[in-house]
Amino acid sequence: MYDGYFSAVGVSSTKPPATVTALVNEGYAKAERLFAKKDYTGASLALESLIFTSRATALEDDVLFLLAQSYYRSKEYLLAGDIYSRLLQQMPSTPYAKTAQFMLAKSYEQLSPHYELDQQYTVKAIDQFSVYLDLYPVTDSLKISNEVDTYRELLKINPDNQSYKESYARASAQYARVDTVRYAARTIKEFREKLARNSFSIARNYVQLGKYKAAEIFYDEVIRRFSDTGYIHQSWSGKIDMQMKRKKWFDAEQSLDQYLQLYPAKEKEMAGEREKIIRNLKNS
């Protein structure tokens, strides 16, 4: 429309039209500058306008990754997770894949609420950290650490050796990943404790309401899904207690047998429950 207008009035432009690639490069460079200045909101706005125009260009994954990073730094964790996920789906072979997978998990970690609330993002964080550990395991952290030390010392002797430089850089990058792997494993453990606490607290709430069957269901959930957490013994004890309160003496006996088979050291502690169950089975 404008070109026609200028031609009609005899005005011509000497500036050639910018190509899509040039526009994307210019927009991305602007976003990088804003990000470097910690203007994450500004960077996000600049990058959002490039999401579609950058498709099938050399900067497609750069745009998505920097946008996700900008959202994360702005504490827009839901948006960050969405863009990290989109990057991994659209470009699974991107060089950013490893970092994007870790940051996707961290985005969900940030969204994980207090244990009494809905835990969907806690579950998602566990799932994504687990994917990260499966895809990018560290097999021998001690060996990597030794390699870093070795090449660091060799570079002191011969600082111009290109092979030493490359090997040191490679070992250092691997060693940096050791921390992320440890972080992922630690968070998975902490979040499994949180999920167990969530189910256990629901069971306790049902006990207070006198809804013993419902309480047993949630004690049983801890037993089935979170046997590696600190709530396992209290949940077994709670389940048996609920069955006794409901006068399900046969079920209580079976549950007690199962518990002591798994944890024989608890036999003395559960002697009172055993005696009460046997006495009531005789009278029934």
Mean pLDDT, rounded, for 228-234: 97
Higher pLDDT, 3 or 147: 147
Domains 1-110 and 194-283 equal at CATH topology level: yes
- What does the domain layout of the chain look like in residue ranges? 1-110, 194-283
- Selected from 1.20.1050.10, 3.40.50.11260, 3.40.50.1370, 1.25.40.10, the CATH number assigned to the domain covering 1-110 reads 1.25.40.10
DSSP symbol at 229: S
**Is the pLDDT reported for residue 56 higher than 80?**
yes
Helix (H, G, I), strand (E, B) or coil at 90: helix
Residue 8: per-residue pLDDT: 37
Residue 133: per-residue pLDDT: 94
Mean pLDDT, rounded, for 196-202: 98
Q: Which of 16-20, 68-72, 167-171 has the lowest mean pLDDT?
A: 16-20
Q: How far apart are CA 108 and CA 125, in angstroms?
A: 5
Q: Which of 50-59, 175-184, 221-230, 255-264 has the lowest mean pLDDT?
A: 175-184
Work out the mean pLDDT of the chain and round it to a whole number: 90
Q: How far apart are CA 176 and CA 198, in angstroms?
A: 34
| CATH 3.40.50.300 is held by the domain 194-283 | no
Residue found under tokens 């990754």: 65
Residues 6+ apart with CB under 8 A from 50: 24, 27, 28, 31, 59, 63
**Is the pLDDT reported for residue 246 higher than 80?**
yes
**Is the pLDDT reported for residue 22 higher than 80?**
yes
Q: How far apart are CA 238 and CA 219, in angstroms?
A: 6
Mean pLDDT, rounded, for 123-143: 87
- This prediction has a pTM of 0.82
Mean pLDDT, rounded, for 270-282: 95
**Is the pLDDT reported for residue 13 higher than 70?**
no
